[in-house]
Structure 1
Amino acid sequence: MSLPILVAQENWQAFDDAWIALMNGEEALDELLPALLVAGEKKRIARCVPLVRQHAELLELAERNADGAALLGTALTAGAPQAEFAAKLTELALAAWGEELWWEEAVELTGLTAPGNDPRQSWKAFGRLRALDTGAVVYHAGGWGTGEVTATGEGQVTVRFHTGMQDRFPLSAALDIFEVLPESDLRALHFRDSAALKKRIKKEPLEVLRAILERYHGRVSLISVKNALAQVGLEGSGWSAWWRRVKKLAEDSEWFRLAGSGQRMELRLLLEAADPCEQLQRQLKALTTLEQVLERCRSVLNGRQEPALIELALEALEAGAAEEDEPLAWRMAAWLAIRSARGETPEALAERLALISADTGSGDAAPGDTAPGDAAPGDAAPGDAAPGDAAPGDAGAPHPAWRAMAALPTLRDQEAALDLLPEVFGEDWLLRAGRQLRYAPPGMLRPLVERLLADDQQALLGALYVELLSRPQRAPHLLVTLARLAEDDRLEGDYPPAPRRAQSLVSLAARLWKERRENPHSARSLGRLVEFLTAGRDSRLEAMLADAEPETLRSIQLQVQQGIDESIDNIITSVIFHSDLNVSDARDRGFWEGDEVWTTRGGMERFNAELRELRDEKIPANEDAIGAAAALGDLSENAEWEMALQEKRNLTTRLASMEADALRARLLEDASLPADQVCPGTAVSYRDLDSSEENRIVILGPWDTDLNEEIVSYRAPLAQGLLGLSTGDQCRVDLPGGSHDLEVLAIEVVDVQ
């Protein structure tokens, strides 16, 4: 072990033994001199004085005058008494270097032999002057960085810096502004061969960490490690990735000890190898949360560790997960780690799953209590399978276990929870989970979809893709996954036309673009979606828009103008530019003028409820009535039979109409509302020019009008007359009570969510 580290850790007996062994040999003083400086920093140089005196005498007898002067000069610098060593220092220095050509100039610059000068400062300056020799690597902290001394003489030093710049400095100035680096210093290694050092940092990270620790005498803060690597070009994300790796390696090494957390972490280089189990116990005891314990134990469980260490980590996880005051998400993550290591579900986790499954009140999850970025359980699209529905994409109310799995802290935890689904859903777990796939958390989506594909559930996934295209913001991460499969013909389904699919995916991309900074899941899904739509010379998006109508292109153009990834923006611009269609003609048409039915989320939920009532209650009741009427006999004069048949025709016609509307339904929150223009999703204040009466209406969808009297459907005559107008515009509106001349006073976008 190096002498500076022995002193830093105050292992004085070992230090003295090593020093005495050094005296009796002819080794260099490379480790002893910095050790004396560390002793000075610790205010313990006084205990070293006897050995300094003895060693200096031996060096003088051996005519190692330079080493003797270095020993005494360093001891003085560390705080040894001047009265005892100053004169001897001058004597040995003169004997060692007095014949050198540079001696007189050095003495004059440093004042080494001048009476009354401080020998400590003189020796420091003399040492730096001697080190400023041709070929030495120096560091300028003021901004020039690392350089090499290329020439000395005539009281000047020439330095070539890493930038290629070369300059000359007076010796007196060079002594103050340059730090001479040992060849083992990372900054010197970076200057000599940056590519070799970069490779070493990557392949030998612990050796690099050891070099930094030895530079700081065996104890260093994390900030100092970061700064040391920043000086050799490892910064930002590169530093973060390197430190994550090295932290795990150092925690598992018997030669390093980490204490504290975050930026206040301190690292120590140990004098002797520590017992791995004792070290792990010490580390775990210092951690204050289950999150921290789980992070440390995962590095043990994922590495090739001894069985005793693995068992110790599992015991720590079991103890932490048993604490009721720890967040449930982290307790479940700990149980999952235990399950993965032991190969069986912990009893506590099994009990928790049983409680979650028995919590029938959780079936109607509150908005916002869902997987990040995915749908609220009650948020069903028209024709979707909401609670009580049996559409292909669902199987009733969302199982409450989805909420618990969505709360797991990392994507890795969510993926690991996939193995719990058989315990949650039972024997036919895969099909049941597939029907509720929209509620699965992001980390579980891709592996679950892969299992469904392997189980030949392409039709189920295809139906879900069609369903989500009409609601692109309902389950965005799932839609991205399904889009890649469906557009590669790996799913089965009757899809909407390609331009409409493209419009839905662009709408999703616009939303993910807005969320990318706040939500890492959205950023990840955005990257996958952009790559899917834009990759290649002939992009998928361009192909999907080949037969788009002007109205569709105009609607997409409005979405893009709200902000979107540049690659998508460029493709849309190119498609519109090269299109033979006159998109500018569509500019005068509003998004509401197509065959879509625009509505709010609440209106869509009420429509779904009415559709389910019609399909699941009224039509079955009518069939029962027909059967009862048939049982009366003589159908030719059976009034009940005729009434039941007429009711059936009315109900089936109504069902067909509602199902058609369901396929065309769109959420207003997905629309790109034009600025300062009356459209669905705006509140309009207007004045009747004949009576001077002022009124305010909120224009929403046809399924929203029962919310309050102020809301008017955009299909109503009053709204139809105002749509497309701007503030200050006037119009004549034909209403049942007669014609009215109106003036738009103000337009305000309302919250349509």
Structure 2
Amino acid sequence: MEPDSLIQLAASGNVATVEDEWMRMLERARDPGDVARYSDTLKTLAGKDRGEEARALAWAALESMESRFEAQSVIAAASPLLLAVPDNPELRQQAAELVRKHYAGRPGIEALIREAGLEGGRPLRRALRTLDVCLRLEPGSFAAGRDEDRAARIEAIDPADWTITFSDGAGTRTLDPVRFADAYCPVQATDFRVLRRFDAAALAAKLQKEPASLIVSLLKIHGHQLNSDELEAILVPDLIPAGQWKKWFTRARNGLKRVPQVTVEGRSPYFLKYDATQTSIEEQFFSEFEGRHDALDKWSVVERYVRECKQHKSEPDRELLTRFHAALQAQARRRIESGARAALRDALIAYQSGRLVGSDESTRVVHDLLASIEDLESRLVELDVDALTCAALDCLRDVHPDSWRDVFLSLLPLARANVCEHIAEHLVGAGYDTADFEPAIERILAAPADHFEALLWLWNGPRHEARVCRTPLVTILMRLMGVLADLRRDDTVESAVLREYGGRARTALSARNYSRFEACLKAMDLNMAVALKSRLPRLEMLGDNVCDDLSTRINRAFPSIIKKKEIEPWLREDVLYVTQKGMTRRRSEIDEIVNVKLKENARAIGEAASKGDLSENAEYKFALEERDLLRGRLAMMQEEMGRVQVIDPAEVPTDYVGIGSKVRLRLPGGGEALDLSIVDPWISDVERHLYNYRTPLAQALLGRRVGDSAELNVGGVTGVYQIEAIESALPDL
């Protein structure tokens, strides 16, 4: 939602929707500037006597930005947010901590925070202005008067109390930081006022060589507009002799024709106006680029510039691309020298920008970094940007020509969907087939929630699917649905995570007008279709429209499903009901096979094969047989996992015997009572009276109520037992 729309929503008083849209905006924001654009939403809320809600949203914005972006860029965006809401000590404290975090190494930062009054003691606007001004100052920098045509050069800053000593041409003065910020603002050394006061030679050269640039500087100083008479009064006779004015101004006016920001209208006097919005695309993009601090944010500006040039069918400006690359390369070099973990990411960004200008230096830097990294797999996963990860993998082939295939295959289950496809392309090109991919596919299917992106890649269909994955599409679908069902049942999962997983699954299922889902239905039997349809109402994160579309397609593929009579859960062959304890135990068993036994078996195969003459090698044959048994066991377990439905404790009946019930039985005529529980196959234990619900004994009891009788064989003794009590067994498990 755009800022204007959110402001209108805030004005309507619909606070709940505003809060939802605000959180979505924070998730989508690519940089703090995106967040700052929405500050008027907070101002509107505060104006509607919703100051507390506005402060809460401002707090959420600061926390979100602090966790995702560099502190300096967050500080700049924080000011409009803080000024938009009623003053609040907690928000002031949070802003102060941001300043401390970014400027931790700057002498006197605590003194400046104290003197500015950011944590209290001064109006917030004045405190923020003081910080904004003073943090941009250093000895040798310049400032200009806010209300007077004067310039100052900073001579010294005392870190004890942040008093600022400066010279203004008439002498040296000292002011405290607050009063200095009230009177001055930082300017560049090329500012007209600075040149006039401190560098007459440079000003004279600018008058002669860059008259249009000098006029632009004066327009910025004087409210963006001047007429030719006012301009003449500023420059003549101190800087331009009266007799040379007309000639100079004519030359300057011709130069201004090449400055899109300046318009010249009228005649005698001429009226000159500066419009900062009228800039060339290159100036706009480089200005935005310089305003970003994180390398990834800077790179997003470069990508957008190249994209716009392509849309307009024009070649990107090579000089601008070179400036982009030089800045990104310098930033990457600083990261590498500091030993920061983000060095690889920034080096890859410089590498990407280098490719735009044909530079090889960044390639060598990335190669050296990749060669020096020990925990390569985790560092590649940390990149979390598809284009950068793929670039790193391309370089990795050159750095590790003998072992890159092992790294690629190990990374496959952990990678994002687009990166999975990139990896598969390389491996298929190197001759890999389904047997080679099988260990990675097994890891994905064994723990689909941990490898959700890779699971979506399998569902969407790798380009070389026949050479990558032989797992039935139905199995992948059931894993996908199982992940969503598990997330829904897990109370510890945050709503944002549910929305993200649901959105990704929704896109995958509905892609290409549900073509993969419809192909899946063709390979499905009626019982599995019934089980799949029964899951849909509980998967709210998919959205009503997608759930309805899926259900419609199931009905269309299986017309009889509409008329199919509902059968009791314990009689269903298409669903395997399990307890949470059983699910946890089975996942541990799968993990043991995938991450321990199969790896040990692979080592055993390799060691046996190294002994030569495989035809007479008993160890090798035994290891292969063990591998086949392990894979068979794993396939069976994964097939069962595809039919699992975890029992909801709240749905265990107590008025009749159901799956998850604890039943008290007694033989007629008295005798000792017998307690038994009806549970899933994965935790059944007859010695503890925990019976698999699919056993004949359990089936004889399921559906019966207190007072009913059933003929049972318990411990080898057959008798007619009466049901005395029914309760849930899950709390005791």
- Larger helix share, 1 or 2: 2
| More contact order relative to length (CA 8 Å, sep ≥ 6) | 1
TM-score by length of 2: 0.45
CA radius of gyration, larger in? 1
